[in-house]
Amino acid sequence: MKIPIDLLLERGATYRKVETGDFIFNEGSPATFYYQLTSGRVRWCNIMDDGREVLHKVVYPGESFGDFPLFDGGSYAASAIADSPCVMLRLSASTFRELLRQYPEIHFKFTESLVADLRFKFMLTNLLPTHSPEEVIGHLIQYFNQQGKLICQDCNRLMMTRQQLANMTGMRVETIIRTIKQMEKDEKLSIIKGKVFIPSDGIQVD
């Protein structure tokens, strides 16, 4: 967790509850709050003119989202959409910046998080033009497993839909479906009642 909940509440943060599909903020709007998720999941994405999503990140409880403009004063670079019923804390942008000035160790956590997001983007950018769909999906699942995100830690189920994988990689959903079926044939993963499960030791990729 980036900022302790007690500290956020002490500084005047308030809870906000949203339902699946609700927009929390829109791309291009001014950033007036810091958001930290306490329950549910949030998609951070751009919406194209034809309605397609470009998925950048799936946010879990304890994580924040929409941080970029809080540091550079710009507008939101992407939209945040509730992927499930969510509860979050939000703190005014000015109070958030003051909190960072008072707690350098918290500021450092945000620096680490921003660097991790950039490294993921560089990894994805490098994978897409030089690897097959199967290799791209394999590397993504391996990354999620190593990070302990988007893979159920109890049952090893991939917690992303085929459409979300397509939105994240830019591949067609038909390509994702076909590739996952081939990976099942190659015994690299399992499909049970439409859900994707990975081996306990992860997916081996070159």
* Mean predicted confidence (pLDDT) in 28-37: 95
Q: What is the pTM of this model?
A: 0.87
Give the rounded distance of the alpha carbon of 7 from its chain centre.
24
Q: Rounded to whole angstroms, how far apart are CA atoms 177 and 80?
A: 26
Question: What's the pLDDT score for residue 11?
Answer: 97
- Quote the tokens at residue 92: 């005014």
pLDDT at 24 > cutoff 90: yes
Is the CB of residue 140 less than 8 Å from the CB of residue 198?
A: no
Give the rounded distance of the alpha carbon of 204 from its chain centre.
23
Q: Cα torsion at 88, 94, 100, 101 (round to 10°)? A: -170
Query: One-letter amino acid identity for 60?
Result: Y
C-alpha distances in Å from residue 71, one per residue of 3, 168, 191: 16, 25, 42
Query: How would residue 3 be classed by pLDDT, with cut points 50, 70 and 90?
Result: very high
Q: Rounded to whole angstroms, how far apart are CA atoms 189 and 183?
A: 6
What percent of the chain lies above the pLDDT cut of 70?
A: 98
- Residues whose CB is less than 8 angstroms from the CB of residue 33 and which lie 6 or more positions away in sequence, other chains included: 90, 91, 92, 93, 96
pLDDT at 107 > cutoff 70: yes
Question: What's the pLDDT score for residue 205?
Answer: 66
Question: What's the pLDDT score for residue 93?
Answer: 95
Instruction: Report the number of secondary-structure helices (H) and strands (E) in the chain.
Output: 7, 10
* Mean predicted confidence (pLDDT) in 133-156: 90
* Mean predicted confidence (pLDDT) in 158-185: 95
> What's the pLDDT tens digit per position in 45-103?
999 999 899 999 999 999 999 999 999 999 999 999 999 999 999 999 999 999 999 99
- Residues whose CB is less than 8 angstroms from the CB of residue 91 and which lie 6 or more positions away in sequence, other chains included: 8, 11, 12, 13, 33, 34, 36, 99
30: helix, coil or strand?
A: strand
Query: How would residue 124 be classed by pLDDT, with cut points 50, 70 and 90?
Result: very high
Q: Rounded to whole angstroms, how far apart are CA atoms 84 and 82?
A: 5
Q: Rounded to whole angstroms, how far apart are CA atoms 91 and 7?
A: 11
Burial of 65 (0-12, 13-18, 19+ CB in 10 A): buried
Sign of CA pseudo-dihedral 117, 123, 128, 131 = negative
> What's the pLDDT tens digit per position in 6-21?
999 999 999 999 999 9
